[in-house]
Amino acid sequence: MSNRNNGQWRLKSRPVGMVKETDFEYIEEPLADLSANQFLVRNLYFAFEPAMRGWLNDVKSYVPPVAIGEVMRASTVGQVVESNNPDFQPGDYVQGMLGWQEYAVTDGTPGVMGAVNKVPEGIPPYLVLSALGGTGLTAYFGLLDVGQPEPGDVVVVSGAAGATGSVAGQIAKIKGASKVVGIAGGPEKCAWLTNDLGFDAAIDYKSEDVKARLEAECPKGINVFFDNVGGDILDAALLNMAMNGRVVLCGGISSYNEEDLPPGPKNYMQLVIRRCRMEGFIVIDYMDRAGEAIADLSAWIASGQIKHGEDIQEGIENTPKTFLRLFEGKNKGKQLLKIADPPL
Amino acid sequence: MSNRNNGQWRLKSRPVGMVKETDFEYIEEPLADLSANQFLVRNLYFAFEPAMRGWLNDVKSYVPPVAIGEVMRASTVGQVVESNNPDFQPGDYVQGMLGWQEYAVTDGTPGVMGAVNKVPEGIPPYLVLSALGGTGLTAYFGLLDVGQPEPGDVVVVSGAAGATGSVAGQIAKIKGASKVVGIAGGPEKCAWLTNDLGFDAAIDYKSEDVKARLEAECPKGINVFFDNVGGDILDAALLNMAMNGRVVLCGGISSYNEEDLPPGPKNYMQLVIRRCRMEGFIVIDYMDRAGEAIADLSAWIASGQIKHGEDIQEGIENTPKTFLRLFEGKNKGKQLLKIADPPL
C-alpha cells in the first residue's frame, strides 16, 4: 500500500461570500501504513450538502469549522481494500465522514460526525448517502418530529427538488397530507415533483409570484412549512400560515454564501397572529433513533412510495465544481460525485 | 340619564408610522336610553396595551381593525350606574372592552373581545386591568405554556418593565428559574426590576451593549427568552440561546409604528444551530383556562411574591397622550388612565 498516492481536496482559504473552486486545492501525498485496528477505504462517492458551506466559516456552530489545510469534510461511501480491523473486511462497503479524498485510513470510531458504518446489503451503496442516509433522516425527523403533520394537513416544502425536500414532501403524502406543494427553481424540477414524485403542485420561484401562488394553492393556509431556503420564500410562507401552523427550519441555503447576514424574515410576527411555531433541528440529535427511520424509509423505497433522485457527477477533479452546483440550484435530488468504481 | 353627555375618543384617521394624538378626536354626544337588559357603566380606568396599535391598521389580524369614526377599542373598568339587567346592579364594578369613553351602554354579552364581567370583591378594581387581567394572563400562559421553563432555567425578558414583562419575570422566579434577567430602558426601570421585583439582573438597552451583557449574564445561554420587543434585542438574544431554548413571541413593540415592516431577526438560523423553538401566542386562546391563572396570580399577589406596578395618569383629555407613553417607553408597569372616581 505504501506505493499508493492519495489525491485529496483540501481547504485552501476561507471563502468570502460565494464559495469558489479556488478555495480548495488538490494535493497528492503517499498513503501511510496501517496501524493496529486501522483499515484502508477507497472512496467511491462523495455526498454534498448545503450545510457544508457553514463548516467553512470560522465560527462557533454545531460542529467545528474545517481547518485551513485540512481535507474537506464530507460524507462518502467506499470499499475497504486493506484491513487490520477484525470488524471490517476487504470488500465491505462502508459509509463515513471520510472526506474529499481517494483513500481514507480509519479505525472506524466516531470522529466529528459519527463512526464508519457498513452499508446494508442489497441496496446501491450510494443510497446511504441520500434517501437512506443523513438526507433521508433529516427529511424524516424534520417533517415528522418537528413538523408533526396531521392527516389532512397542507404541507409546503421549499428547496423541494433538493435531496431533503424531495423526500420530505413524499413522506408528507404517505402520512396523509391533503396537499403537498413544492417550491423549486425551474420548469424541469417542478415537472419532476408533480409528474414523478407525487407532489400535488409545484411553484417555480424563478418565474412565479410565490406569495400569490401559495395563497391560490393553500386557501386555508399552510399547516406545515418545511423550509430549506429562507429569505423571501420563508417570508412568503409566513404570510400564509394556518392557525397553529409549524415552520420546520431545516436550512437556509439562500443566505449561506452571503458575506453579511441578510435581513431575517420580516413577517415573523405572523407567528404571533396565527399562533405558529418555528423550530430548528439538526439530524445528528436523532441518531439514536436512526433505526426506525431507516426501517420506514427502506420499506417506502421498496414499495415505490418514495422515489429517490440522485444527481451523479463524475471525476474527483470535479469535486469543488460539483459542490458549487448546490448553490447554483443545478441539482435535482441528492448531489453526488462518483470518483471510482468498486476496486474489488 | 338622557341629560348626560358622553365624552368619547374616536378614531379619526389611520396612523401612518408613529401614532399621533391627532389620529383621534374627542366628541361629546348625548347618551341614549337603556333598552331591555342593558345597563349603563361609568368608566373609571382605561387600560393601554401595545397591541392596540395593531388594531388601528386596516389589515387582517386576530381581531378586526377599529373603524374610522368608531370609539377606540380599549379594556376598561367602571361602575354600573343604571341597569335594566338583573345580573348587574348599580354599584357593581365591571370590566369589559368598553372603549375610550366616559359611559358605555351594554347588555354584557361578548363583543369583539369578550363579555363584561364583574370585578371580584376585595381588590382594587384596576387590578383586573393589570396583573389580574389580560396582562397577567398573557404573562402567565406565555411564560408557562409556551416557554415551558424548567426549574434551574435561565429566563430573559425584554420589555421587562412593562406590564406583561414585569409579571412574566416574577412568575419565572416563582417557578424556580436559576436566573431571571430583564431588559428595559433607563436606569430607573432597571433599578425597579432588581430592587423591587426580584429580577437577578437588568440590562439597560439604552446605554448598554445588550449582546455583550447577555453573554456575561448568561454564560450557559438563555433557556427561555420572553420577547415583547423584537428588532435588535431579539437578534441579540438569538445569538445567546441555550440548546433547545424557547423564544416566546409575546409582542414586537419596536416595529408597531413602522410604516414598512423592518427587517426580521437576521440571526433566526440560530434556531437551527441550537435546536430552538420560537413560538407566538395570543392570550384570548387561553380564556377557557383563565380561572387557573387568576387563582395562581391572586395567591402570588396576596403573598407578595408578585408585585404589580401601575403607571396611572389622569384625565380623559389625556387619553391619546397616555397611549403614546407606551411607544415612548415611559410606562413602568401597566399603563392606566384614571378618568373618574367611583360615582356611587
Query: Structure pTM?
Result: 0.92
pLDDT digits (tens, 9 = 90+) for A163-200: 999 999 999 999 999 999 999 999 999 999 999 999 99
pLDDT digits (tens, 9 = 90+) for B229-250: 999 999 999 999 999 999 999 9
pLDDT of residue A59: 86
A273 contacts B280? CB cut-off 8 A? yes
Residues of A in Cβ contact (< 8 Å) with B219: none
B279 contacts A271? CB cut-off 8 A? yes
On the question of pLDDT at B2 being above 70, the answer is no
**Of residues A263, A176, A88, the one with CA closest to residue B268:** A263
Q: Strand B93-96 to strand B117-118: parallel, antiparallel, or no bridges (unpaired)?
A: antiparallel
pLDDT of residue A84: 97
Assigned fold of A5-129+309-338: Quinone Oxidoreductase; Chain A, domain 1 (3.90.180)
Residues of A in Cβ contact (< 8 Å) with B62: 273
Q: What residues have CB less than 8 Å from A302, skipping those under 6 apart? A: none
Chain B positions touching chain A (beta carbons under 8 Å): 61-62, 230, 235, 249-252, 255, 261-282, 285
Q: How far is B317 from chain A (nearest CA, A)?
A: 32
**Is-contact A43 A105, C-beta < 8 A?**
no
Q: Using N-to-C axis directions, what is the helix angle for B163-174 and B134-141, rounded to 10°?
A: 50
Mean pLDDT of chain B: 95
pLDDT digits (tens, 9 = 90+) for B57-69: 998 788 899 999 9
B269 contacts A267? CB cut-off 8 A? no
Chain A positions touching chain B (beta carbons under 8 Å): 61-62, 230, 235, 249-252, 255, 261-282, 285
pLDDT of residue A2: 53
A269 contacts B249? CB cut-off 8 A? yes
Specify the range with the lowest mean pLDDT, choosing from A49-58, A253-262, B78-87: A253-262
pLDDT of residue A112: 74
Q: How far is A269 from chain B (nearest CA, A)?
A: 7
| Nearest residue on chain B to A55, alpha-carbon basis | B273
A252 contacts B273? CB cut-off 8 A? no
Strand stretches in chain A, DSSP E: 5-11, 24-30, 39-48, 76-83, 93-96, 103-106, 117-118, 154-158, 179-184, 201-204, 222-227, 241-249, 277-280, 310-314, 334-338
B277 contacts A269? CB cut-off 8 A? no
pLDDT of residue A122: 86
User: ipTM score here?
Assistant: 0.91
Residues of B in Cβ contact (< 8 Å) with A235: 264
Q: Which of B264, B267, B278 lies at the smallest CB-CB distance from A266?
A: B264
> B268, B274, B285, B287: which to substitute to probe chain A, counting the most A Cβ within 10 Å?
B268
Q: Please determine whether the domains at A5-129+309-338 and A134-284 fall in the same fold group of CATH.
A: no
Assigned fold of A134-284: Rossmann fold (3.40.50)
Q: Which of A266, A271, A280 lies at the smallest CB-CB distance from B261?
A: A266
On the question of pLDDT at B1 being above 60, the answer is no
What residue segments make up the domains of chain A, in order of their start? 5-129+309-338, 134-284
A265 contacts B271? CB cut-off 8 A? no
pLDDT of residue B4: 85
On the question of pLDDT at A1 being above 70, the answer is no
What is the identity of the amino acid at A67? A
pLDDT digits (tens, 9 = 90+) for B210-226: 999 999 999 999 999 99
| Nearest residue on chain A to B268, alpha-carbon basis | A264
pLDDT of residue A258: 86
- The share of chain A scoring above pLDDT 70, in percent, equals 99
| Nearest residue on chain A to B63, alpha-carbon basis | A273
pLDDT digits (tens, 9 = 90+) for B128-145: 999 998 899 999 999 999
- The three-class DSSP label of residue A311 is strand
B278 contacts A275? CB cut-off 8 A? no
**Is-contact A251 B272, C-beta < 8 A?**
yes
In whole angstroms, give the CA distance from residue B242 to residue B338: 43
A263 contacts B275? CB cut-off 8 A? no
Q: Which three cell numbers stand for residue A105?
A: 485510513
Our measurement of the distance from residue A173's CA atom to the centroid of its chain's CA atoms, rounded to an integer in Å, reads 20
On the question of pLDDT at B254 being above 90, the answer is no
Mean pLDDT of B118-122: 90
Q: Which three cell numbers stand for residue B58?
A: 386596516
Mean pLDDT of chain A: 95
Residues of B in Cβ contact (< 8 Å) with A281: 272, 275
